[in-house]
Amino acid sequence: MAKNKERMMEQEVTQAGAHMVRHIHTFDVILFIVLTLLALVIIYPFYNTILVSIVPQVDYTRQPFMLIPKRVTWENYEFVFDSPLLLRSMGNSVILAVVGTLYNMVLTVLLAYTFTKRDLPGRNFFRFLLVFTMYFGGGLVPTYLLYKALGLVGNWWVMVLPTGVSITYMLIVSSNMSELPAEIEESAKMDGANDIQILVKIVLPLIKPILATFTIYYAVERWNEWYSAMLYLKDYKLWPLQLTLREIISSASFISTQAFTGDTRPPIYGEGIKMACIVVTVFPLMALYPFLQRYFLSGLTLGAVKG
């Protein structure tokens, strides 16, 4: 009897295990299908952008949604890179991204570290003033008059100096600095370290992930800069890449309009040039992102836990 009961129990356990395996297997299949569909929804727009930029206009008109191109042409990219302003503008954007990001991070870190000092006179008042600027601005006309009075209109630095700190980023960095144990700073002060030494040698290495995260954010914002250049820069030699590509897109739209009126029919079309410009703009960031991905993910996690 005892052996029969043991056998029955073993059979029940085996059946329960098999049922659980089938249940988990079914769930995994469903999850895999759902994630695959979501991945396709996310990836296809990027893939379609590349396809539209390399297929002839006739193929795109006949089959707007395609998976594999029948013919490939590089005329759209030739049109983009034949622009004499493109290389100069790309250099301007690279300099803007490097100088602007460094400028932003230095100011953000210094301001964030300042607000970790609880004994700072008027600390809450100055924090309120900074937060106030997040919701209220002076308006476009007063801003233009101010920049003109400061001699920034027509100056390349108009794209760098006015946008020094993102208050949101600064508050998050300050919050992460405040979460560090106070004993570390006290110990460093007992050893004779000043505030700059504590910031550079102790605080910054401990919050490296969050710094890398906002460095990426600032770099992307600087790389995509075009609005300030459009408003305040008339010299096309100072234009960043985004503004130059915008002008190229506008010219391509004009050429495409001429094609529809029958005046001329160029071998390129506006939609393909737009997609080629998108690829040219996004590619440098996509190439840089994999090297900073681990800092980016850990920085987001750190901000979610401590923010």
Nearest Cα to 267, choosing from 258, 277, 275, 280?
258
DSSP 65: S
Indicate the burial class of 36 (C-beta count within 10 angstroms; 0-12, 13-18, 19 or more).
exposed
Rounded to whole angstroms, the Cα distance separating 297 from 307 reads 15
* H helical segments located in 55-122: 57-62, 75-81, 85-114
Give CA–CA dist 256/138, Å, rounded: 40
Q: Encoding tokens for residue 141?
A: 């006309």
**Helix, strand, or coil (residue 119):** coil
CB 214 within 8 A of CB 248: no
- Note the pLDDT of residue 12: 55
Q: What is the pLDDT of residue 208?
A: 85
**DSSP symbols for 140-207:** HHHHHHHHHHTT-TT-GGGGTSS----HHHHHHHHHHHHTS-HHHHHHHHHTT--HHHHIIIIIHHHT
Say if residue 162 is exposed, middle or buried (CB neighbours under 10 Å; 0-12, 13-18, 19+).
Answer: middle
Per-residue pLDDT of the chain (307 residues; tens, 9 = 90+): 555 555 555 555 455 555 544 555 777 788 888 988 998 888 888 888 888 888 887 777 777 777 788 888 888 888 777 777 777 888 899 999 999 999 999 999 999 998 887 777 888 888 888 888 888 877 888 889 999 999 999 899 999 999 889 899 998 898 888 888 888 888 888 888 888 888 888 888 888 888 888 888 898 899 888 889 999 998 888 999 888 878 777 765 555 544 444 444 454 566 787 788 788 888 877 777 777 666 665 555 554 444 4
38: number of Cβ within 10 Å: 10
For 104, 134, 135, 231, 262, the CA distances from 138, given in Å and listed in that order, are: 21, 11, 11, 16, 48
- Using an 8 Å Cβ cutoff, are 54 and 73 in contact? yes
Element (H, E) at 81: helix 75-81
Q: State the pLDDT at residue 303.
A: 46
What gap in Å lies between CA 45 and CA 134, rounded to an integer? 33
Among residues 275, 279, 240, 286, the alpha carbon closest in space to that of 90 is found at: 240
Domain 76-306: give its CATH code.
1.10.3720.10
Q: Which two tokens stand for residue 266?
A: 């160029």
Contact of 204 with 122, CB cutoff 8 Å = no
**Count of other CB atoms within 10 angstroms of residue 261:** 7
Tell me the residue type at 277: C
What pLDDT was estimated at residue 299? 52
Tokens of 205: 């290495």
Six-digit token string for 105 = 């991070």
The DSSP code sequence of 225-237 is: --HHHHHH---GG
Residue linked to tokens 């003033």: 129
